[in-house]
Amino acid sequence: MVKTFLLMLGGPGAGKGTQCERIEKYLTNCVHISTGDLLRAEIKNQTEIGKKVEEVIKKGELVSDSIICEMVNEFIKNSKADTILFDGYPRALSQYHSLLEQAKGIRIVVINLEIPDNILVQRIVSRGKTSGRADDNETAAANRLKVYHSQHDEMINAVKSGEYFVVDSLGNIDEVFEEIKKILAWLYSIVIIHSLCLVIMIKY
């Protein structure tokens, strides 16, 4: 049964995917979900959804919330992990509200990787030289950041009311992960203590 939703947020190129891969290995019974990977799989398999979103992604635009939420909710229902690690999801307030509907009795923790936009564009363009992704170019990157910011601020204000942490993502991969590990160590020590308290209360 899922106990925690761990949301890894940050702009395109902030390093969410790289850090999520490390977190998935670091935590016990944790599964990593990337909506981008799910969508690209749909495109590769030329499913009905894949055909609809292929041109949208090439332009650097965001896929409709209804499609994204449908895929994510299905993933949650089928997951047996203790922690689901969301890579760049939710991106908008409507997606966050959809996630809340699935999170009854589940802890939500947010880690936001912050980095200046000009550095994000540089990273995306550099990544495009090897990734082969149609949206890893300067024009698409600038458009993605514009769309991202138009929805991001409102959503961040909503998640700040809960367990919300900010990590400076300007450092190298190892440095950023060390900061994330400090947060995870604190978070999961709290979970262990809380569980022990419940056991003691039940026993005595």
- Sorted by sequence, the CB contacts under 8 Å of residue 107 that are 6+ apart come out as 3, 4, 5, 163, 191
Taking CA atoms, 144 is separated from 55, 106, 122, 131, 168, in Å, by 14, 31, 13, 17, 21
Please tell me the predicted confidence (pLDDT) of residue 127. Answer: 85
Residue closest to 62 by CA, chosen among 128, 138, 151: 151
Tell me how far apart the alpha carbons of residues 103 and 37 are, in angstroms, rounded to a whole number: 22
Average pLDDT, the chain: 86
Please tell me the predicted confidence (pLDDT) of residue 51. Answer: 84
Taking CA atoms, 116 is separated from 54, 123, 145, 149, 171, in Å, by 28, 11, 11, 12, 12
- At 193, the pLDDT band (50, 70, 90 cuts) reads very low
Q: Is the pTM of this model over 0.85?
A: no
Tell me how far apart the alpha carbons of residues 5 and 106 are, in angstroms, rounded to a whole number: 7
Chain segment 30-74, per-residue pLDDT in tens = 999 998 888 887 789 888 878 888 888 777 777 888 888 988 888
Dihedral of CA atoms 24, 152, 113, 125 in degrees, nearest 10, equals 90
Domain 4-203 carries which CATH code?
3.40.50.300
> Is residue 195's pLDDT more than 80?
no
Return the sign of the alpha-carbon dihedral for residues 190, 196, 197, 202.
positive
**Segments making up each domain of the chain, as ranges:** 4-203
Mean pLDDT of the 116-140 span: 86
Chain segment 146-192, per-residue pLDDT in tens = 888 988 889 999 999 889 999 999 999 999 999 999 999 988 875 54
